[in-house]
Structure 1
Amino acid sequence: MNQESARNLTMFDLFARSWQRRATVMDLRFNAAGTAVAFAGADGSLAIAPLADAEAPEKRIRVSADFGRATIRPRKAPPPPLIETATLDDRTLPLAAGPADRFIVASGAGELLFVDASGEIESAGIRVGGPVMALDHRAANGITAMSDGVDLFLSHHRSPPVRLEPENCGIAAIALSPDGLHVAAGTANGLLLWETSEATDPQSIHLPARPIAIRWSGDGRWLACPLGRQGIGLVEVATKRTAVLHDFPVPVESSCWSGPSNALIASGAFRIAAWTMEAPPLADSRSGALIAGRSGLVAVDRVAAHPTRNLVAASYASGQIVVARIGGADELVVRHAGEAVTALEWSANGSHLAIGTADGTAAIVTFPPQIFKS
């Protein structure tokens, strides 16, 4: 590689491992052990990438003895190929982080399967009557929640699943609370909220549209639900107070919570939309509004909050990916342009950002410790 081409390398070129899949990457998950990430394709494929990297960025950084200037050399070789598993269905596999290094997926026959970091598949011993459309798991209390699009099923420590039937409204997205004591399910009318310890009637929370996704805050106090063209729904769980934040220029399809900043973050605007929950926007959508990154001409379509810093990763409709500071305009451009991002998630330690795109790119961007100043 000549010096001119080396100078033209981007941060994505230098920090990312990237693979080409045969179908759109629809979902991804890091395992609980922090050793691997799984990419789920639209064609039912599942591929796993170990996080260990023989040419990690920190191993390629050199600091000049004379001037203290840090440089990073390009990779000498492409990353090893992804670990492919058997195709278990012809549609996107519902995917969740399971115990230890395992992932949980659901086959087309409604059977839950463990997939370990090496790609080995084992039955989880849990089965429902038909295809599973949504799935979640909490290792804290060994509970697994799943939906066939109509009913909700709960399994405690791999016990036979218990059916919870809503009132003829169907179930789309589901999410267990961080402590696993509650499960929220999205319906055409909003949310249903159950306790997981006993089969009680659900609490109903009205929203103006079916939630695209459900996101619990880390303390379990709040729920955020992207509602597409209706904006984003915000629910205070204890009081059941709700607010719907409107006036987004494009549909809201992604939201997340920043624990370090105590903030709600959403896509759907021409900059990263953020609010501090010290002054939650329950009565006024302008209450607690925060700056996060820079304003532009292209809308944000995916957001993912850093787990330990007041940072958020965001992708734009142009395919640009940035990491921005919550509460300030500072941002780091990770990728300048590309195919639309379909999945975006940080590892639990905040060192890795996993990315899936519409053209089937699966990538892991690994940030050396010195890249983010405190």
Structure 2
Amino acid sequence: MESRSERDALLVRRLSLVAKVSGLTAEMQKHNQILAGLEMDLLRIELETGRDGSSEQLVRDLHEAEQAAQMAMAQRADCEERIKAAEKEVEAVDREIAASGALGGRPMNQQSMRNLTLFDLLARNWQCQSAVTGLAFSGDGLSVAFACADGTVAITAAEDREPPEKRVRVSGDLGQTTIRPREKPPVPLIVTAALGDATVPLTAQPRYGFLAGSAGSEVVPVSGAGDLGAPLFKAGGPVIALDRAAQAGIIAAGYENGVTLWRGTADARTFDLGKPLSALALSPDGRRLALGLDDELSIRPVQGSGAARNLPLPARAVSLQWSFDGAWLACGLENGGLALVSASDGSCSIVPDFAAPVRDVAWSTPAKALFASGAFRIAGWSDAALPLGGNSDGALETGHAGLVPIEAVAAHPAKPLVAAGSANGRIVIAKAGSRDELVVRPMGGAVTALAWSSDGRHLAASCADGTAAVATFPDQLFK
């Protein structure tokens, strides 16, 4: 009888300790919400300072926000230590309970504490059945499509049913901004039938929906509701690369050793390239097509006459991106380098010494700059002083250096900001030429792609661990 009384006392004690841990965890979540709000305030003040110059009021606001952030971090650290101590007490009681046989010798499961991050508060995220390797926003910005490694396409609405504006609260006494967590889970993704047994290329339709290449050599329209339309045309083989020049209405579909061009109702034209294709990109006006072919870059006219321009490369091209005016082509290389090609004279300059393949490049009109992945920090240069012939005068020191390479970059469409994702899952937003950065997600699955919506409110991310996410930012954050 005495033994049973002791076990009952242990169970009562454990319930009390678990309640204590739950209360401390709720307190920790409150500290994280406060910190997330303060991070937003700090970034807003820094952006205002960069835009309008420093003022007495902005300096005072920045000082107060920094002090509040330090106090909040100290309070969070103290709360975390109290949680650790309480969890150790729970573990000790669990050992006593297991020894007493109150639960048949089985230890009780404990729910681990999970600190809320800015990503948890701002982003909707889903777990797909396979790695997510690419993404695209539709031309109207209403939906996002994620390309999965199992050949399916997963789609969601860009708009958040619980936007951060509805969850932001400013305390009346201290003026601190907090964001409460979501009350409901996000609407599940719409997943299409498999278009192949591996990732299919995606691109946006000019107004709504998407285009996807298939293993059956077809280019298929995909609606924002996940419906597959009748194929537009058939390429010369299973489609591995896809691009569209919206201005000219031209679609380029690349397959293993060739490319097929299609112009609306006109018949598709197929060209044998004679070499394995690794990447393609149409110029914004649709007049030129850039092709990564094994160890060379080929730029060919699509409209009008003219000969192809073939340039040798030190490594295979893995990414191609034209500048918005079509004057320059940035070519990311598989073995640690970046090639910059002038469209006017065909001159090519190699920027070496990248730590990893340059899988992503992004031109920014607001920042008047070029950004690239593949380095331990965001690589960037002013477009008025590109790194030609070893010149580094235009280098933009952007964000902090990390321990793992940047895998993906995306330039904000309206602000001089760039988002970057790393192999360790870290996602940050930085102002061009500034070391300050906002940590959106501290860690997670390796980031494979990032993209901003056309209005700059949403940032979509895809990850190698199957995570697909869309973060929606409050309007006041980037003002």
| Shared fold (TM-score, shorter chain, > 0.5) | yes
Structure 1 residue ranges without an equivalent (≥5): none
* Contact 2:336/2:355 (<8 A) preserved: no
* Contact 1:98/1:138 (<8 A) preserved: no
* Contact 2:400/2:435 (<8 A) preserved: yes
Q: Distance in 2 between matches of 1:273 and 1:230?
A: 12
* Contact 1:124/1:158 (<8 A) preserved: no
1:110 aligns with 2:134: no
Deviation at 1:66, TM superposition (A): 4.5
Which deviates more, 199-208 or 43-52?
A: 199-208
1:281 aligns with 2:387: yes
Structure 2 residue matching 1:213: 3-state secondary structure = strand
* Contact 1:164/1:199 (<8 A) preserved: no
Deviation at 1:233, TM superposition (A): 0.7
* Contact 2:417/2:431 (<8 A) preserved: yes
Structure 1 residue matching 2:221: 3-state secondary structure = strand
Partner residue, 1:90: 197
Q: 1:44 aligns with which of 140, 151, 159?
A: 151
Structure 2 residue matching 1:370: 3-state secondary structure = helix
Partner residue, 2:141: 34
Q: Distance in 2 between matches of 1:298 and 1:86?
A: 35
* Contact 2:399/2:431 (<8 A) preserved: yes
Partner residue, 2:427: 321
Q: Distance in 2 between matches of 1:122 and 1:296?
A: 44
TM-score (norm 2): 0.75
Partner residue, 1:125: 232
Q: 1:225 aligns with which of 316, 331, 335?
A: 331
Give the residue type in structure 1 aligned to 2:186.
P
Partner residue, 1:180: 286
Structure 2 residue matching 1:130: 3-state secondary structure = coil
Partner residue, 1:5: 29
The within-5 A match list for 1:1-374 is: 2-7=26-31, 8-166=115-273, 168-198=274-304, 201-373=307-479
Structure 2 residue matching 1:225: 3-state secondary structure = strand
Q: CA RMSD of the aligned region, Å?
A: 1.7
Structure 2 residue matching 1:253: 3-state secondary structure = coil
Between 1 and 2, higher relative CO (CA 8 Å, sep ≥ 6) is seen in 1
TM-score (norm 1): 0.95
Identity score, percent: 45
* Contact 1:125/1:158 (<8 A) preserved: no
Structure 1 residue matching 2:165: 3-state secondary structure = helix
Deviation at 1:253, TM superposition (A): 2.4
Structure 2 residue matching 1:4: 3-state secondary structure = helix
Q: Distance in 1 between matches of 2:283 and 2:167?
A: 40
Question: Structure 1 residues 248 and 106, CA, compared in 2 at 3 Å: closer, same or farther?
Answer: closer
Partner residue, 2:85: none
After superposition, the C-alpha distances for 1:117-160 in whole angstroms (9 at most, x for unaligned) are 01111114311232111111122221100111211211111432
Deviation at 1:337, TM superposition (A): 0.8
After superposition, the C-alpha distances for 1:185-240 in whole angstroms (9 at most, x for unaligned) are 11123211122224754221222222101011111111111112241111111121
Which deviates more, 73-82 or 105-114?
A: 105-114
Q: Distance in 2 between matches of 1:112 and 1:158?
A: 14
Which deviates more, 169-178 or 324-333?
A: 169-178
* Contact 2:246/2:284 (<8 A) preserved: no
Which deviates more, 215-224 or 291-300?
A: 291-300
Structure 1 residue matching 2:166: 3-state secondary structure = helix
Greater helix content = 2
Q: Distance in 2 between matches of 1:279 and 1:88?
A: 43
Give the residue type in structure 1 aligned to 2:140.
A
Q: Distance in 2 between matches of 1:199 and 1:46?
A: 38
Give the residue type in structure 1 aligned to 2:424.
S
Structure 1 residue matching 2:318: 3-state secondary structure = coil
After superposition, the C-alpha distances for 1:294-346 in whole angstroms (9 at most, x for unaligned) are 12333222211111111111112221110011111110000011111111111
